[in-house]
Structure 1
Amino acid sequence: MIIGLVCVNQQKITMASTQAFTDEVLKALVDCRERNDALDAEYEKKKEQLTIPFREELEKLLVERQPLVDKLNWAQILDSADAPTKQFLNGTTDTKLLRAIESFKMVTTVRDGILFRRVVLKLRTNMFVETTELFREVDPDGKTTAISGVTWKAGTEKSRGDSLFRFFEEQAKENGLLLDALPAFEMVFQSPYLFAPEK
């Protein structure tokens, strides 16, 4: 009987010790997560402080370079097998609509300490869209802050369903195209000669 009481008391002590240990571990994990979140926030803030001056300097160079890249054949570059934009092109509308591109550029601006990226395509008159200047501007969170929209011509309903040019429509965020195509446009614009066909 005495042995049984000792075992029960030891079990209660062990359970109480285990609970206290578990509570300490949980508290330590919560504290660690809070410190980690604070460090992440500080890292992002410092990274942005470094990124903004870099992007402003890079933007000056890109503006200076624009007259040179305006002479490139953007249809061939965007449709190049190695270009990251290639995966978003359909085989019907896009290959023809690419030929209407007169100018392609990406513009980075800083407003209130926040970077905004804008994709701009200028098009010649063509048989698919009425809009001659397409643009979409997004903030770092992928939220659209300005958009041209696309006015498609009648009869293009079937062929435009999976077009890269849907990027310039309001619904691009919902269909996942916005966050996927934006880095592809940026990569091609910053290094177009990597994707230009050899002469």
Structure 2
Amino acid sequence: MELVPQDVIDAIAKCSAEVQRIQSQTDNALVGIRAEFRERIEVLFEKRQEQLGKVDGFWSEAFTAPESPVRSLLCGPLDQRLARALTDFNVKTSIREGTICRCVMVTFRSNICVEEGTYSRELDSTLKTISVKPIVWKNGTERTRHDSVFKFFSTDETNEEFIEDVLAAFDELFQNPFLVLEAETE
């Protein structure tokens, strides 16, 4: 192969730099479009959440429905029982420093596994944890807490694959919980 002339190398470098500049502009524009979309859709999710709050047991039914993306992650009868203790479930999206962040929240009524209350985990788009309001397990639940899908809300949980899978399932269920319930009636 012949030595590549300097003017060709310079022309290729200039084209590569321009491609990178355009790609960067595209990425920034996409973040802007996503941010605008998320802001609009979040308002609708908040309105929907207000209405779902009036339906007793909605989220516990959605979690345990046969077609639920979360159901396959539930570990045994104790996770099923814990899912039935859910009184609220929410996935809120926000934009921070140009990054889409999601905060998953669950609220439990009194039950045998965890203390009553609301627990959350907020993640950025790279799955880096921004904040956690950790789940408070009751004594005697050591086995359950290590196998449970709800360990997602633990500060000890750092398995990225698990976090990614659970976040995807939670997000899918939250985006359209009615598909799960509609499949049950068909």
TM-score range, shorter chain: 0.7 to 0.9
* Partner SS state of residue 130, structure 2: strand
Equivalence for 2:154: 169
State the distance in 2 between where 1:139 and 1:123 align: 25
Which of the two has higher C-alpha Rg? 1
What are the within-5 Å matches in structure 2 for residues 40-55 of structure 1? 40-55=23-38
Q: Which residue among 92, 95, 106 is the counterpart of 1:110? A: 95
State the distance in 2 between where 1:83 and 1:139 align: 24
State the distance in 1 between where 2:173 and 2:14 align: 43
Equivalence for 2:131: 146
State the distance in 1 between where 2:111 and 2:180 align: 25
Q: TM-score, normalised by structure 1?
A: 0.78
State the distance in 2 between where 1:28 and 1:91 align: 62
Give the deviation of 1:170 after TM superposition.
Answer: 2.1
What are the within-5 Å matches in structure 2 for residues 1-199 of structure 1? 18=1, 20=3, 37-70=20-53, 71=55, 73-130=58-115, 132-174=117-159, 176-196=161-181, 197-198=184-185
* Partner SS state of residue 195, structure 1: helix
* Partner SS state of residue 37, structure 2: helix
Identity %: 29
Q: Which deviates more from structure 2 when the two are superposed, residues 23-32 or residues 169-178?
A: 23-32
Q: TM-score, normalised by structure 2?
A: 0.83
> Structure 1 residues 115, 26: CA separation in 2 closer, same or farther (over 3 Å shift)?
same
* Partner SS state of residue 42, structure 1: helix
Which runs of 5 or more structure 1 residues have no equivalent in the other structure? 1-17
| Length, aligned pairs only | 182
- Runs of 4 or more, structure 1, over 4 Å off, are 23-39
8 Å contact kept, 2:60–2:87: no
State the distance in 2 between where 1:149 and 1:133 align: 9
- State the Cα deviation string for residues 59-105 of structure 1 (Å, max 9, x = none): 11111111222215222211222221122110132100011111111
* Partner SS state of residue 140, structure 1: coil
RMSD of equivalent CA atoms: 2.7
Equivalence for 1:3: none
